[in-house]
Chain A
Amino acid sequence: MSSLTRRQFTTTAGVGLAGVLATGIPPARGQQREISYLCWNNFAPASDKKLAEIGQRFTKDTGIKIKIDHINAEQQPAKYASEVQTQAGHDLVEMRMHFPWLYEPQLVDVSDIVADLEKKYGKAVSSAQETAKVKGIWRAVPQYHAMFVATYREDLFKKAGLKIPDTWEDLYVAGKELKKMGHPVGIPINQNLDSISTAGPILWSLGGMEVDKDGKTVRINSPQAAEMIEWYRKMFRDCMEPEVLSWDNASNNQSIQQGKAGWIHNPVSAYIVAKQMKLPTADTINHHRTPGGPNGRHETDAPRHIGIWKFSRNVEPSKEFVRYLLGRPETYNEYIMSGDAFNLPVYEKLQDHPVFKTDSKYAALKSEGVQYHAYGWPAPPSDKVQLITNSFILPIMLAKAVTGTSTKDAMAWAEGEMKKIIAG
């Protein structure tokens, strides 16, 4: 065996290092297949634990290491923006609602994965199609969704002999009684997404919309919007308390959990947390499907998807993980079950999933006859529609109206703001 001189060693190492630095590819022996996945802190923490467990099994079965990071939902936009701007960061990212539209040029086409999943599980639900399929190409893989339902104090309704509201007008009738009993209705009217999640379905149920499906024509100054404002005005006066003007996304949950609110509109997380924390109100809370109106029954849905950044050097291993998590029925099933009905399956053939039967109070989640949409529907989720949503024009219009601005002026203000955004 010939010995290596110091000069030979230095030359070989130098050339090798220069090659690695120039190509950016480590030698085959040093390559460790490793991917990273950034997702939110799920409101059902058990599902994050399950995800970590599945990740470990994935590593064991495939030899691909996976690092899963979690951040709060509110930090996602800033984090994603920095990853895209620097073209560095995670390989896989969780995409809430219309994120795939915002980051479209940066996301890998995952239509092949979705086609396989749809073959197995049926079509993805409409809200997932609206948000993850951008101009005919799947930019993210639908993972699960969490929709809004009506969460109410069953004991109070029984005590007062109140009818479960089938329409928003029914809610007004029940709400008046609830407020008299000291348990007002809790619908936030403030700059947060929950406020839009309720205002949207009410507007849609009356046949109204913010922007038409062409994505250009502003439709907020309409008789339907005026009707919605009048409904909010009387609800605010007779069924709610002024505190809703300062509420954040968590306030309605807290209000019903602490025994104050008699009715809120929220995903089942309010009940899940009350149950986990063994709060006395857990036994008294139940759900019913979202009320409807003359134009049907609509509900805000928050679909979540998994996307892969184009700058990732591990596109194939990343796709392998998505297939492992969502494409194997037993693994996907296990993951969905861990979410305690907060994370619901997002494919049509799975709409009779056992997770709906884990608690009798989840029956309302199988909301038959309800149409699910993302914010801004029926307009396609462009960046302009996203800016209308993120500028909270709808709840600000309502807040103005319930605090003294005339319906006409409030609508004119909202129309003006929306038109400026669309024109910009």
Chain B
Amino acid sequence: MAIGSVGVVTASARPSLRARLSELLDRESWLGPIFVSPALVLLLLLVAYPFFMALYFSVSNAFIGRPSNFIGIRNFVRLWESDAFRQTFQNAFVFCGAAVGAKVVLGISLALLLNQQLWFKRMIRGAVLLPWVIPTALSTLGWSWMFNSLYSVVNWTLLAIGIIDPPGPNWLGQKYYAMAAVIIVNIWRGLPFFAITLLAGLVAIPKELYEAAEADGAGPIARFWYVTLPLLKGVLGIVVLFSTIFTFSEFNIIYVLTHGGPMNSTHLFATLARQVGLETGRIGEGAAISLYLFPALMIVVWAQLRFVRKQAY
């Protein structure tokens, strides 16, 4: 009897599956991982797997469709012997330094301008985003036409207003002009990202700080230097970090405009990696080109995130 009664009590005390599930989902220690897991699975599949494959390829003599062997860092050492690679290495720093530097200056200027009370403010802010929204390959084709040796509208305009003498620069055929051309297009394309993100940072700065500074006699330059810039540092750090990574790994602009020419003067890591890894089948070497800067970029990312965290707290 006693046993029977215990059994009845136990059965009635056991909560239903729904109730147990509901209870489980109420616990943060369970709910958090459940919410994070889809993103984690996606990251593992789409980021971690290709990344580790690339890491393996870079230390192997992998050739498309053939068995590969581990060769240590031989690819990295051998690459440094190639003139094309050394040129690419130099190009990457010139391209990234000039483009990111110009985007910082122009991005802050544009953000300050967009933060003013302007007519058609929303329309202008929307229009500024256009270069960022249009597919890069498509917009770069437009630039390719503008820099075309036969029909360059850039040269035509500069000639018409008397800035240059005919026939004008051969934009994509001379190495310094070609580098300038790809930098210009990268700035044009990346500027909206800087401007809009910095604008969000500007809007978040309390107006009272400007009023207090003004009351203390600070002019526009002093207000920018002592109020705006310090409070923008966090956002600026993040934007520069992202832009540095994107600019180092630029592919479309170079591929469409110059294919890395003339004389390898505009090749970047991504375009050279494609040339060696895909067009020739030497994916081991191609992966090594792509990952050459990975350790250095990791240090930059770590330092910059540390800086941003310091700013935030």
Contacts and interface: CB of A to CB of B under 8 A. Distances in A.
B293 to A, nearest CB: 21
Contacts of B259: 190-192, 248
Given A102-B281, A246-B149, A390-B279, A190 B173 contact: yes
Given A85-B65, A387-B276, A417-B83, A245 B170 contact: yes
Interface of B: 63-66, 78, 81-84, 149-150, 167, 170-174, 178, 258-264, 274-283
A422 interface: no
A387 B285 CA distance: 11
Interface string A410-424: 000100110010001
A15 B91 CA distance: 61
A255 interface: yes
Contacts of B264: 191, 396
Interface in A380-404: 383, 386-387, 390-392, 396, 399-400, 403
List of 8 A-B pairs having minimum Cβ-Cβ separation, nearest first: A246-B173, A243-B149, A245-B173, A191-B261, A246-B172, A84-B65, A106-B65, A387-B280
Contacts of B277: 81
A265 to B, nearest CB: 18
Contacts of A246: 149, 170-174, 178, 258, 261-262
A244 B150 contact: no
Nearest to A245: B173
Given A78-B274, A420-B81, A424-B78, A392 B281 contact: no
A58 interface: no
Contact of A84 (B64, B261, B280, B282): B64
Interface in A230-283: 241-248, 251, 254-255, 258, 260
13 contacts: A81-B277, A190-B259, A246-B170, A246-B172, A248-B259, A254-B150, A383-B282, A387-B282, A390-B275, A390-B279, A391-B84, A391-B275, A420-B82
B78 to A, nearest CB: 6
A5 B233 CA distance: 72
A247 to B, nearest CB: 7
Contacts of B65: 84-85, 103, 105-106
A386 B83 CA distance: 18
Interface residues of A, number: 41
A77 interface: yes
Interface string A13-50: 00000000000000000000000000000000000000
Interface in A306-359: none
Given A243-B150, A243-B173, A386-B280, 12 more contacts: A77-B278, A77-B281, A191-B259, A192-B259, A245-B173, A245-B174, A246-B258, A247-B173, A383-B281, A390-B275, A391-B276, A396-B261
A251 B83 contact: no
Contacts of A255: 150
Contacts of A191: 258-262, 264
A391 B277 CA distance: 11
B150 A251 contact: yes
Interface in A65-96: 77-78, 80-81, 84-85
Given A77-B279, A243-B149, A103 B84 contact: no
A417 B64 contact: no
A192 B259 CA distance: 8
A71 B276 CA distance: 21
Given A251-B150, A420-B82, A390 B280 contact: yes
Given A243-B150, A254-B150, A102 B64 contact: yes
Contacts of A387: 276, 280, 282
B45 to A, nearest CB: 14
B135 to A, nearest CB: 16
Contacts of B258: 191, 246
Interface in A96-139: 102-103, 105-106
A413 B173 contact: no
Nearest to B177: A246
Contacts of A190: 173, 259, 261-262
Q: Give the residue among B167, B170, B281 with the most A Cβ atoms within 10 A.
A: B281
A190 B63 CA distance: 27
A345 to B, nearest CB: 28
A242 B171 CA distance: 11
Contacts of A424: 78
Contacts of A243: 149-150, 170, 173
B263 to A, nearest CB: 5
Nearest to B260: A191
A242 B173 contact: yes
